[in-house]
Chain A
Amino acid sequence: MAKISKKLDYNERINSFDEVYPVLTLSQAVHEANRCLFCWEAPCREGCPVGINIPGFIKRLAQKNYKGSAELIYLDNPFGEVCGRICPQEKLCEENCRARALNYPIAIGELQRFVCNKRITGDFKISFKIKKEQKEKIAVIGAGPGGLGAAYFLRFMGYKVDVFDKERNAGGILRYSLPSYRLPSSIIAKEVEFIKDLGVNLKYNKELGKKIHLKDLKKEYDAIVLALGLSKYKNLGIKGENLKGVYYPDNVLNKIRAMKEPLPDPDLSNGKVIVIGGGNVAMDCADTIRRLPNTEVEIVYRRDFQNMPAWKSEVETVLNNGVRIMFLTNPIEIIGKTGKVTGIKIIRMKLTEPDESGRPRPIPIKGSESIIECDKVIIAIGQTKDQDLLSNEKLELSLSGELIIDNNMQTSESGVFAIGDIITGPLTAVNAIQSGKEVASNIYNYFESRRK
């Protein structure tokens, strides 16, 4: 990522949950905005999953028309400030930036964050008018980026939208897979507030299959959007996973989110913590726990550095922050005494021919087992869907248990649509928002065709 903002110093970032990269100053933002070439048919826009008018918002920023700039961003994305922070811009808009051919890409993400931050800090308010109220009511299940994205764009079109979530807060995966120093809760809350201001209703503590059921919702709503996400973390399927001291990323990230600064935590701090996994969530867990007092953190990952799914910049940050990584190592058992974790048994791995993911398959090296003593284990090896949510619903599933949808994202049940990670597998927030945008127009067409 083309970063202009100066990273917090080691001591500042390691002893706080402050954002690692501060928002740009006005001078930095205006200078950077003026570097933008204002390309025609801008390729950056093509690289943005939700198609934000990037040259437009940057030109307005350069002219210090912050409100007009933010209007362009929020027109295409209700999570303008969230995405300005957490999108992998170097693989999206910035990857396509033509200024790269002159020197280096424009820091589009940081500029977007700068503009949206001005809205959030109250420099101006933006509000969109609903052109025409429609009679249809739509239920969205899941208040993550996909569900809220769908709700936002459906509300734009004039539909009445209720969003149900099993938690007490909106944001979904934004809350339980990201640490606050990368995405503060206050930012999520402000963006959710904006969606509510548009007229979207949020209903909390409503878990599908328990408190709400599709058959009841179908009576009350004209369409339903399932945006269930991948809300469960995978387990390893090895001995010892039920010991006290074994945690999953949501236990760590969502819990520590509530802390203003790193403080002792009865469960997570004090002692040695092993984090298992090589993705961004594993890095975030390790880096979060590393900030707690008297805590030593080590990551165990079965492939090597080259084949880690985590972004290289994230891995570097974690290493710089004093976390060790054991590559080519896999856990085979979690060991405990009196029901409590005391260590893990690991085995060394070697890489062989590529597997279905295209990366070299890791296989164990016989006789290389050893034991590492530790006090806690965090298992961060990926997310999966919560099977219980749909177990009582009559929706058609594939042989492998995946929801089946048609070209219009409609499930086997008429009027019930499904979007986001539950369909696509784990992608970034902006992809989920994009699928929310797409389903909104599909639902519009669905109603139109029903009228005929």
Chain B
Amino acid sequence: MADLSIEFLGKRMVNPFLIAATPSSDNYDIIKKGFEVGWGGAVFKTTSVEGQEVPLKYPMMTGINYDGKQTMALANIDLISEHHIDEVEEVVKRLKKEFPDRMLIPSIMGEKKEHWQELVERLIKAGADMIECSFSCPQGTLGDEPGKMLGQSAKATETVAKWVKDAAGDTPVIIKLTPQVTDIVAIANAVKRSGCDAVCTINSVKGLIGVDLDTFSPLPSVDGKGTYAGITGPAIKPIALMCLSEVAQNVDIGISAVGGCSTWSDAIEFFLLGAGTVQIGTAIMHYGFRILWEILSGVNNYLDEKGFNSIEEIKGKALPFLTTHDGLVQEADPNSKINWDLCIKCDLCYIACSDGAHGAITLNEDRLPVVDDDKCPGCGLCASICPVEGCIEIK
């Protein structure tokens, strides 16, 4: 049994899994439920200064289904928490008392310096372990520059992050970044310069999930009109892994990673690419807090099987193997190897190679796929589309 506890920004956590800033962390009851299941902490649904109206619109979510499975991606036009800062303070106090070993990370968003600093001070006083700042919610237009996110400007990021850190003092501050920037390393460096302790990669990806073909309204549709939304779920994991690894390779800063993590193997990938903690949102919203048990079980078995004693031992282990395309040196001459004992003769590899790759696969009299090694450069398409586990290998 490996040690699943970790240290993050100088604080000990029972496990590295945090409830992300979502409806699953918006009030006392729901966070308590999550903690009872075993979550290591919670990033609260983002709160702002008092008096600011939160004009929520419904319906606020639409999923993309793929091959019969729901929510490959989930779009939301949700905004920040509707709860008053007074209430959030109370929630922090109660939870700190009842769950002293769990990380309480309120998430905040403000406009003016006084707003940011007031929020930080009040929440730390209430017992917050860390503060997360949303510099990057793609939904809505709360802010000075409608449509523009704070986290898209290195200069603005540094300035505001510094305000927050000045107010937070020794309490760790995490700045949540958007993936929709030209150079996320530049933004992470700005956070580093501000004195903040960590970044959170990534916020939901601004996108347009679809259009209602009957009414022509983009989705989700609010009385016949739609707008851009924040996209989450398994579909954004590759973007999250890219942002995480770019920051991890280039900036010496803590990282709380989030974006499409739904399984234990997803979680391991996040750690291997340098994540200190992993936040999970959409998978909880889809399957409930219990998904943690499945993730912990898989992570634990992986660590045991590979002979690691703790999550910290695997942190960043994949980073030395991540290079540029120029850095890829090919020595082996791979080919597609098809195991006829496993082949079910669907012939999808044949048609994929024929119409989508190198025409290296033909069918023999028994409809079994035969690879022409001279034509096959080992591109990997056939192995990617084969429906049988382990039937095609590239080696």
Contact = CB atoms under 8 A, between A and B. Distances in A.
Interface in A88-112: 98, 101-102
B345 A43 contact: yes
A31 B68 contact: yes
Given A41-B367, A102-B387, A102-B388, A33 B68 contact: yes
B140 to A, nearest CB: 32
B68 A40 contact: no
Interface string B375-395: 000000000000110000000
A62 interface: yes
Contacts of A31: 68
A40 B388 contact: no
Interface stretch (B73-81, B87-95, B220-228, B347-355): B347-355
A98 B345 contact: yes
Nearest to B389: A102
Contacts of B363: 41
Contacts of B350: 40
Contacts of A395: none
B68 A35 contact: yes
Contact of A101 (B69, B344, B347): B344
A8 interface: no
B387 A40 contact: no
Interface in A194-243: none
A98 B351 contact: no
B346 A40 contact: yes
A189 interface: no
A101 B351 CA distance: 19
B67 interface: yes
Contacts of B345: 39, 43, 98, 101
Given A30-B68, A34-B68, A102-B388, A40 B344 contact: no
B246 to A, nearest CB: 35
Contacts of A30: 68
A35 B344 CA distance: 15
A43 B347 CA distance: 10
Nearest to A31: B68
A40 B347 contact: yes
A41 B351 CA distance: 9
A34 B67 contact: yes
A40 B350 CA distance: 8
Nearest to A27: B68
B79 to A, nearest CB: 32
Contacts of A40: 346-348, 350-351
B68 A98 contact: no
B71 to A, nearest CB: 15
Interface in A1-53: 30-31, 33-35, 37-41, 43
A98 B367 CA distance: 12
Given A102-B387, A102-B388, A37 B346 contact: yes
A38 B68 CA distance: 14
Nearest to B69: A34
Contacts of A62: 67-68
Interface string B48-81: 0000000000000000000111000000000000
Contact of A38 (B69, B344, B348, B388): B348
Nearest to A55: B346
Contacts of B348: 37-40
Contacts of A101: 344-345, 388
Contacts of A37: 344, 346, 348, 387
A98 B344 contact: yes
Nearest to B349: A40
Interface string A340-379: 0000000000000000000000000000000000000000
Q: Which of A30, A35, A40 has the most CB of B within 10 A?
A: A40
B392 to A, nearest CB: 14
A34 B347 CA distance: 17
Nearest to A30: B68
A265 B347 CA distance: 56
Contacts of B67: 34, 62
A40 B388 CA distance: 15
B344 A41 contact: no
Given A33-B68, A34-B67, A35-B68, A102 B351 contact: no
Interface string B332-373: 000000000000111110110000000000010001000000
Interface centre among B68, B348, B350, B363 (most CB of A within 10 A): B68
A74 to B, nearest CB: 24
Nearest to B345: A98
Contacts of B351: 40
A120 B348 CA distance: 34
B66 to A, nearest CB: 9
A31 B67 CA distance: 8
Interface string B273-287: 000000000000000
Contacts of B367: 41
A98 B368 CA distance: 13
A247 B306 CA distance: 75
A39 B348 CA distance: 6
Contacts of B69: 34
Given A102-B387, A102-B388, A39 B68 contact: no
Contacts of B346: 37, 39-40, 98
A34 B67 CA distance: 5
14 contacts: A30-B68, A31-B68, A33-B68, A34-B69, A35-B68, A37-B346, A37-B348, A40-B347, A40-B348, A41-B363, A98-B344, A98-B345, A98-B346, A102-B388
Interface of B: 67-69, 344-348, 350-351, 363, 367, 387-388
Interface of A: 30-31, 33-35, 37-41, 43, 62, 98, 101-102
Closest 7 interchain pairs by CB?
A34-B68, A101-B344, A40-B347, A40-B351, A39-B346, A37-B346, A98-B346
Given A39-B347, A40-B351, 4 more contacts: A38-B348, A40-B348, A41-B363, A43-B345
